[in-house]
Structures are given as structure tokens and as C-alpha cells.
């Protein structure tokens, strides 16, 4: 909601800046028309035979041209300033949009990022006839970590999990913190066996990490994770794949975790 409000406010500012730019453009057009009328009102130099009349005509043209140049210079400066303001606002809008799909703690995608991209990935995979796999990852006994070592250490573990997942996946994979201690990975164009290799690499990496509580340098050992992995089937929706992966995750938890 806050991000939406900020985007709306910035969009309003952009609209005002664009309106001002259009106003300046209208002023330029009006000034050009006025310049043309003023020159035209002085007659046609071809019809002039009196040197003083020609001199007066030339003097008028010079003064009108100088005035037009001053106005044009002002308009150019105003438009350049307006362009800078618009570019800054566009950058702010882009930053807010990025923040809206990024998990503030782990700096990977959030649930909104995943929801926006996963359905698209399903459609693309179906049209291309390529595989698509989905993995749900959940840290084991994470509540105990928070209770025993504090939420700061819990946050440290979440950031570690996000880093491991990011390091073990490809740039084209959809990686996100789905909520709490749960992460999701969608792997387009990846078979179930190759995805299993990725998942196993993540699992082993987490199992072998030794975590130290930063505030006290206390060694708290490793925090493992459990996984639910599934491949897209005919007629699958995003919800169906998530439900199935979640079911397999639950089975992994029931059968010893890690």
C-alpha cells in the first residue's frame, strides 16, 4: 500500500511536469507564430525602393529575431530543467517499483515478484513444450533458532539461505522469499533430474555451513532445510504446482527433514 501511494504521488508529479512541458511547447509555437506575423506585417522587401524603408525593415527584422532568440533561449533552459525533473521522477518510480517486488531483508524477490512471474513462466513453458519445475524450500526448526538465539540471528540465517539459493540457481530462474522461512524456486527449461541436482546442491551447502552468532561469536552449528520439488504437468496451474510442491515439502518434513 505504501509503495502504491508513492507511485501514485510520483505519477501525479510526472503528469504536472509533462503538462508544464506541453505549456512551454505551446508558448514556443505561439512565439513562432507571432514572429511570423510581425515579419509579415512589415511588408515584402522586394516591393521596397526607398533605402530608409528597407533599413527600417531590416532593423525591425533584427530586433524581432533578437527577441525570438532570447525567448527561445529561455524556453530551451526551461525545457532542459523540466527534462531533468522528469528523469528524476522516472528513476524514483522505477526504484519504488523494484522495491515493491524485492524482499527487504534478503534482497531477493518477494512473494509478489514470484506471483507476477510464475504464471507467465507456466504459459511460456507450455507454449514452448519445455519443462518447468518448482521447488518450495523451508528452513528446519527455524522457530527454535529465533527463540534460542534471537531474531537478529534468525535474520542472519534467512539472508544466508537466500544467498545460497541465489548462488546455486541461474539468472533465468525465479527465486523469491515466499514468506517467513519459506523460499520458492521456479526453474524454466529444467528437467526434474537437473532440478534435483540443484536442490541437492542447495541442501548440502546449507548443511555444511557453520553459523556464528554475530553479536557474541557463538557457534550455533548448521541450519538445514527441507524441500518439495515438482515438475509441471499437463493442465497445471500455478496454484496446482504450489499445492503439490507444498505436499512434497510436508512429506520431507515428516520423513526426517534436511
Q: Judging by beta carbons within 10 Å of its beta carbon (0-12, 13-18, 19+), is residue 35 exposed, middle or buried? A: middle
Q: Which of 171, 181, 182, 218 is catalytic?
A: 181
- Tell me if 122 sits within 8 A of 236, measured CB to CB: yes
Rounded to whole angstroms, how far apart are CA atoms 102 and 240? Answer: 24
Task: Count Cβ atoms below 10 Å from residue 119 Cβ, excluding itself.
Answer: 13
Could you tell me which residues are beta bridge partners of residue 80? none
Look up residue 161 and give its three cell numbers. Answer: 539461505
Rounded to whole angstroms, how far apart are CA atoms 218 and 213? Answer: 5
With the CA atoms of 212, 214, 217 and 220 taken in that order, what torsion angle do they form, in degrees rounded to the nearest 10? -30
- Tell me if 226 sits within 8 A of 161, measured CB to CB: no
181 has catalytic annotation: yes
Could you tell me which residues are beta bridge partners of residue 201? none
**DSSP state letter for 109:** B
In a 3-state reduction of DSSP, which class is residue 186? strand
Q: Which residues are catalytic?
A: 181
Amino acid at each position: 500500500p505504501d509503495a502504491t501511494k508513492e507511485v501514485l504521488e510520483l505519477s501525479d508529479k510526472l503528469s504536472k511536469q509533462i503538462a508544464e512541458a506541453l505549456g512551454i511547447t505551446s508558448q514556443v509555437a505561439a512565439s513562432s507564430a507571432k514572429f511570423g506575423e510581425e515579419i509579415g506585417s512589415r511588408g515584402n522587401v522586394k516591393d521596397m525602393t526607398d533605402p530608409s524603408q528597407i533599413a527600417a525593415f531590416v532593423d525591425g527584422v533584427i530586433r524581432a529575431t533578437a527577441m525570438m532568440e532570447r525567448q527561445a533561449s529561455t524556453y530551451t533552459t526551461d525545457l532542459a530543467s523540466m527534462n531533468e525533473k522528469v528523469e528524476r521522477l522516472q528513476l524514483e518510480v522505477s526504484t519504488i517499483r523494484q522495491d515493491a517486488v524485492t524482499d527487504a531483508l534478503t534482497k531477493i524477490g518477494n512473494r509478489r515478484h514470484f506471483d507476477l512471474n510464475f504464471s507467465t513462466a507456466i504459459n511460456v513453458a507450455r507454449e514452448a513444450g519445455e519443462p518447468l519445475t518448482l521447488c518450495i524450500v523451508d528452513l528446519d526448526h527455524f522457530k527454535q533458532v529465533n527463540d534460542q538465539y534471537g531474531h537478529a540471528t534468525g535474520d542472519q540465517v534467512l539472508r544466508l539461505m537466500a544467498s545460497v539459493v541465489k548462488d546455486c540457481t541461474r539468472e533465468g530462474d525465479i527465486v523469491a522469499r515466499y514468506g517467513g522461512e519459506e523460499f520458492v524456486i521456479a526453474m524454466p527449461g529444467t528437467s526434474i533430474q537437473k532440478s534435483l541436482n540443484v536442490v541437492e546442491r542447495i541442501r548440502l551447502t546449507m548443511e555444511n555451513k557453520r553459523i556464528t552468532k554475530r553479536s557474541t561469536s557463538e557457534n550455533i552449528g548448521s541450519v538445514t532445510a527441507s524441500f518439495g520439488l515438482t515438475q509441471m504437468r499437463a493442465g497445471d496451474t500455478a496454484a496446482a504446482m504450489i499445492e503439490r510442491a507444498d505436499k512434497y515439502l510436508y512429506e520431507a518434513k515428516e520423513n526426517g527433514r534436511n
